[in-house]
Structure 1
Amino acid sequence: MFLVCGEALWDLFAIEGAGEGAGLSFDARVGGSPFNVAVGLARLEQGVALFTGLSTDRLGERLTAALEREGVGTSALVRTANPSTISLVDLGADGSPRYAFYGEGAADRALTLSDLPTPGPETWGLHAGSYSLVVEPVGSTLLALFERERGRRLLTLDPNVRLTIEPEIGVWLARLESFLACADVVKVSDEDLGLLHPGRTIDEIAADWRAKGAALVVVTRGAQGAVAFGPAGRIEAPGRRVEVIDTVGAGDTFQAALIAGLAERGATARAAVEALGADDVSALLDFAVRAAAVTCSRRGADLPRRAELASPAPRTEDR
């Protein structure tokens, strides 16, 4: 069992009306980075539960129902009367999303230390990421959970920087420093690294983060694939050819596949991650890249199921 921690919300995709004077309509989809990771793990046939605050409003009820339909455990949900977070999503010409979040005082931000779950022995790892790391009180709550579980379970992290929620990079850096002291596996996009550490190379940042505590640092690079830094050295995986509909949920898909790939290799503890050879890490990256490519070929965060990844997708260089 894997416990994913962080926000759950509704993504509203804006749709321009046709004709003069036509207004906007919205396509509402369940979402939130940790929510997506939890669903992704369930679709990849991994036991998973979500720790988040969910509203008792109608939107919160629908989020709970969606988790149950996907097979995500709900025993760690904290239900409150706080409202549900809403994210307005506007897609660029290349399919990349721009987000505007409306969630001040929302349920997913309201978790406190008294809400912390006590995972059973079947829970081998925890994941945290995105804006839940920096907004309060949930940010301090998740940090306390990571500090409590450090060395006891495998801890994974994805900063997934959202400047529209917390615009001060210094806040992200300070909180990330604390989480890096706990995390065993860190996944981050090259875009986020450019925001966090402009002017520095990914190799320099990965070396720094490993010195701070991470056993494995994985950097995603969009169409260029991904690169991992760990005991087996620097290992790259190329991108995959795909007709991009949009990139919503691609990073979350990669994260879910990374965790599932570790589980399938029996790397459910830090020592096992450190013992992975170059071939294992290469295959792990390839699996996660292929999974993310599937999501990019569909609208919204529609993450793949395990059976869809049975055969390798064509490599970028095969074009």
Structure 2
Amino acid sequence: MITVVGESLVDVVRAAGAVRDGSAHPGGSPANVSVGLARLGAPVTLITQFGDDDNGRLLGDHLAASGVRVRRVPSSALTSTATAVLDEHGAARYVFRLAWDLPAPPEPAEGTRCLHTGSLATSLDPGARAVEELLAQQRAEGSATISLDPNIRPALLPSRELARSRTERQVAHADIVKVSEEDLQWLYPGLAPYDIARSWQRTGPALVIVTLGAAGSLAVTQGDIVRQPSPVIRVADTVGAGDAFTAGMLHWLYDADLLGGDRRDALRGIDRQDVTQLLDMATTTAAVTCTRPGADPPTLLELHAWPSTASV
């Protein structure tokens, strides 16, 4: 079992001049990762919050349709939303209505081999404090692999310095860190992604992976660095690409029996060939998602059929 802890929200796109109407789409980085894992066939439980409203029902139906087991933590708030208001030129201004108020560290699902979290779940208080406490507890207990994707949202953070300090604390608890080059550029202006990844890896994680957009990805292990190019594709959009990458990465590790506290040494000793295969699956999962509008990760059958079904 993989337990994902984090936000579910609805992305709303509203045209210029509209007051209420807008297209609503299920979202939230941890929710997207859960959907990606479930579609690839991994057993996954999402611990999250959303309201008893129309947006909450949209999220619940979406998660159930993909096979995600959902455990809702009670909240009095309405379902979180991120609204993109488009002007007459199509430029977007974002308005957030967010709630993440976990009262205490949640208990992972029974039989959890991996705990994944990140994004608003690890940066938006008061819930982020409970999640950080959960990471510390799980690291001390040692029964599950800890996976982290910081997925930085600068507009919602108090300062670069505080965000950097908190992220570094969380990285030290993790066994696997996946982070985007864009996140690292914001956290550490002017520093090279590889140098940051190597520095992070030395604080505790067995594996630090940096996604580089169209340039592919790189992985830093205890004794190696592996680079993987991105396939050439026709991009519909990049919504959910990073979350799809994370889902592909964790699914590969699940299939390879490298998740769980008893597999920590094996994960730390992962070799170059296995890292290359991991990056290939994660990159391909993200690439397929980019060929389709929105956060719509592939099923395992669709992934195996690609690239024969892709149009470049």
Pick the aligned partner of 1:287 from 281, 288, 305.
281
Aligned equivalents of 1:3, 1:180: Cα separation in 2: 18
Shift of the alpha carbon at 1:309? Answer: 1.5
Give the match for residue 59 of structure 1.
55
1:127 matches 2:116: yes
Query: What's the counterpart of residue 5 of structure 2?
Result: 5
Unmatched 5+ residue regions in structure 1?
92-96
Which runs of 4 or more aligned residues in structure 1 lie more than 3 Å from their structure 2 counterparts after TM superposition?
21-25, 311-314
Computed over aligned residues only, the root mean square deviation of the Cα atoms, in angstroms, reads 2.3
Identity of aligned pairs, percent? 36
Q: Does 1:201 align with 2:192?
A: yes
Unaligned runs of 5+ in 2: none
Whole-angstrom distance in 2 between the partners of 1:158 and 1:11: 20
Distance 1:13 1:224 in 2: 29
Where does 1:1-319 land on structure 2 (aligned, <5 Å)?
1-15=1-15, 26-74=22-70, 76-89=71-84, 100-104=94-98, 106=99, 109-113=100-104, 116-120=106-110, 122-150=111-139, 151-268=142-259, 269-311=263-305, 313=307
Alpha-carbon shift at residue 178 of structure 1 (Å): 1.6
Q: What letter matches 1:271 in structure 2?
A: D
Q: What secondary structure does 1:157 align onto?
A: strand
One-letter amino acid matched to 2:65: R
CA 1:306 to 1:99, structure 2 compared with 1: closer, same or farther past 3 Å?
farther
C-alpha change, 1:98 and 1:161, in structure 2 (3 Å) is: farther
Task: Tell me which amino acid in the other structure corresponds to 1:270.
Answer: R
Q: Deviations over 1:129-154 (max 9, x none)?
A: 11221111110010111111112210
User: How many equivalent residue pairs?
Assistant: 301
For the residues of structure 2 that align with 1:239 and 1:166, how far apart are their CA atoms? 30
Asked if 1 retains the 8 angstrom alpha-carbon contact of 2:14 and 2:22, the reply is yes
Q: Which stretch of structure 1 is more off in the superposition, 24-33 or 198-207?
A: 24-33
Distance 1:202 1:98, change over 3 A: farther
Task: State the 1:311 CA deviation.
Answer: 4.8
Alignment CA distance shift 1:304-1:98 (3 Å): farther
Tell whether the 8 Å contact from 1:5 to 1:50 is kept in structure 2 after alignment. yes
In structure 1, what residue type is equivalent to 2:221? G
> Post-superposition shift, 1:117?
1.8
Alpha-carbon distance, 1:313 to partner:
3.8
Give the C-alpha shift of residue 295 in structure 1: 0.9
* Aligned partners of 1:34 and 1:252 also within 8 Å: yes
The Cα of 1:235 is off from its aligned counterpart by 0.4
Question: Alpha carbons of 1:100 and 1:267: their partners in 2 closer, same or farther (altered >3 Å)?
Answer: same
Letter aligned with residue 84 of structure 1: T
Amino acid at match of 1:33: S
2:109 maps to amino acid: P
Shift in Å at residue 278 of structure 1? 0.6
User: Is the contact made by 1:8 and 1:35 (CA closer than 8 Å) also made in structure 2?
Assistant: yes
- Equivalent position SS for 1:286: helix
Opposite residue 295 of structure 2, the aligned amino acid is A
Alignment CA distance shift 1:59-1:230 (3 Å): same
